[in-house]
Chain A
Amino acid sequence: MSDTLLGAILAALAATSWATGAIFARIGMQHMGSTTGTFFSLITGFLLILVIALVLDYEAMFNVSVETISWFVLLAFIQFPLGRFLNFNGIKYAGVAPATAILGSTPVFSAILALIFLGEQITLMIGLGIVAVVIGLAMVLYRS
């Protein structure tokens, strides 16, 4: 099996895992708020990743500088109280289908931020892609 084919299979597994996670979150949050739900989802996610990190990078786990820790805190603030909590809030109040469709546009936000802050050039392909995403999102949101 080629590396590219293996990568494609792993990417498909990633998509399936995220979608399955969203379904479980929707069922779980019928009975609890999205802040508490997000917190409990992080506990199991943390335990899983901790085991992987201890197996793969035991020494590096405890060999981090104060500067690196501050990057982790910033990343954590954007990723979880903003990213995952708002994602779960979207799943709880708007539903799995519209929320995941909107979340699918993440690479576009990444590209827009790269255009603004990293000075990347906007090409015809990127421009048309952004237009397609905006129209697609409008279709998802229409009467959702």
Chain B
Amino acid sequence: MITTNIKKQLYIGLASALAAAAAYGATQTIARFVVTSTAPASVSATWTIFFGMIFLLFMSLNNIKKDIKAPKKAFFMMGLAGIFSSFGVFFMFSALANAPVTVASPIGAINPLVAMALTHIFLQKLERVTINMVLGSILVLIGVTMVILGRFTV
């Protein structure tokens, strides 16, 4: 029973990550249009995050009473997660302003390998990084680089 629940949670997690990748893929196209034709990047990012907060506030209304009792450390960690995610976007926009997309995007795509290294160092008690995951991520990185080079070089 416990194994079935863990498997179910794992499938939900994997499906969520796949759907997130598709959603981020869609936003890249829309964001490029918005940033290049309607408003500067910082303005677009601010308003977009503002409306995102409103959406998430409504989504979390049912859970917030229970989650508000979480340890302060959890809120601190989620706050740091938000700051680092925002810095990631800011650094990537700055990278694209200085270097061609064929250089910046593949380097940005090493994110999973960095995450696996950090997981191995700091989260050994929570999860395990397998050789399959590392090799698979290297293959994803190679594939993504080929797609980017195929799209943005003549």
Q: Footprint of B on A, CB under 8 Å?
A: 3-8, 10-33, 35-46, 48-50, 52-53, 56-57, 60-61, 64-65, 67-69, 71-87, 89-114, 117-118, 120, 123-126, 128-144
Contact = CB atoms under 8 A, between A and B. Distances in A.
B78 A37 contact: yes
Contacts of B151: 111, 114, 120, 126
B1 interface: no
Given A71-B30, A132-B146, 7 more contacts: A7-B98, A27-B123, A72-B51, A79-B24, A100-B116, A125-B149, A140-B140
Contact of B75 (A28, A86, A124): A28
6 contacts: A57-B42, A72-B47, A81-B59, A83-B24, A113-B29, A126-B151
Contacts of A100: 111-112, 115-116
A82 B23 contact: yes
Contacts of B141: 104, 136
Contacts, number: 490
Q: What bracket does the count of chain B residues touching chain A fall in?
A: 35 or more
Interface-central residue, B14, B136, B137, B149, by most chain A CB under 10 Å: B136
Nearest to A99: B17
B52 A76 contact: yes
Nearest to B85: A21
A30 B123 contact: no
Interface string B60-84: 1001101110110111111111111
Contact of A24 (B51, B77, B103, B112): B77
Nearest to A108: B147
Interface in B104-141: 104-105, 107-112, 114-119, 122-123, 126-127, 129-130, 132-133, 135-141
